A and B are shown apart, each in its own frame.
Chain A
Amino acid sequence: MAISREDIEKVALLARIKVDTDQVSALEKDLGNILNLVDQLQAADTSQTEPMAHPLDAVQRLRPDTVTETNQREAFQAIAPATEDGLYLVPRVIE
């Protein structure tokens, strides 16, 4: 299965990965190879197989609803690029 340049550009945008124009051809080939491998897997008959949500045959343990975390704001904000009034500041987002 082939992957188009447009597909690569769209996936890069969704994942917020900057891809230079001269990288696209190489990616086309690499991702194409991966998709070919997936095609091989697709050939297997899975009609009787339950989809696997997790590789471990175990179930999630649940925790009681009790507060265990304390305020660590100062430590977390010490490594943040910008804060004010206890808020994290980020480049303006408006939709």
Chain B
Amino acid sequence: MAAGPKILIVDDEIVVIKSARRVLEGEGYNVEGALGGREALLKIEQNGYNLVFTDLKMPEVDGITLIRWIRKNRPSTGIVIITGYPSQDTIKEALGLGIIDYVPKPFTPAVLLDVTRRAVQWLEGEKSEEAKVDEEFPPAMAAELDRAVHEYRDKPGALIPVLQRAQEIVGFLPPAVQKRIGRGLNIPPAEVHSVVSFYSFFTMKPRGDHNIRVCLGTACYVRGIEGVLGKIKDALHIDIGDTTGDKKFSLEGVRCLGACGLAPVMVVDQETFGSMTPKKALKILGRYAPAFVEPGPPEEIEETVEKEG
């Protein structure tokens, strides 16, 4: 554990520290927390950290003061800000002080991990992930993105439609795509990122060949979607928001598909399946990738399924 980069999370809410620790420690980072700027100063003075995540609005010693102190006394420490107020001015000020990145609050584990990974890479002087993706952009895709930007550029409120289009084009919204859109629409990357991370429709992870969307609405809950979801998770060995190793399937939970009459419901790509049971779910997945359940004729699959329940 100790081999990983040392990270300090500074926030006046214990919940933020706890949840960030839970996420980052799971990935092997060495994480500590400080409840406020004063405690952070003392800890950094004594221990030294590779990376500091800090809130901006805190009583006594606030985030900006802390960042100034770190830049002066521990210039090699990387800084990422966590903020529930992603207003242009505060972020600009923080950027001026040399922060690496920022995490809008509330954040998802995926966003936090992503930001952390990039920040660590930046610190280690490696080529950042986004630079890599930018180079690997097929030119056609880039042109298509630019066209979407161009089409909406003069319309008010262009960002969300452009992002929706970009996600259609690329399949997901990696930082390079967000940057390119930001540049095209003349919107700071931080603002683009704040929108991407806010809406559940947007994803920063690539989806699989077949995207499974499981309805987590009330009617589906009452009629037992949990069992269906559990079965799918077990069969594919992935959690909600993940993609299988072979990129065959990705799994998403959606709020409500509005097809409550057929509850429990799941959608694979564009096709809706109603009155699901765990058994039926496996059968349907088998249709898209017969190999993943159990090789053999369909009857055998049925039997296997029955044994598994």
A and B are interacting partners: no
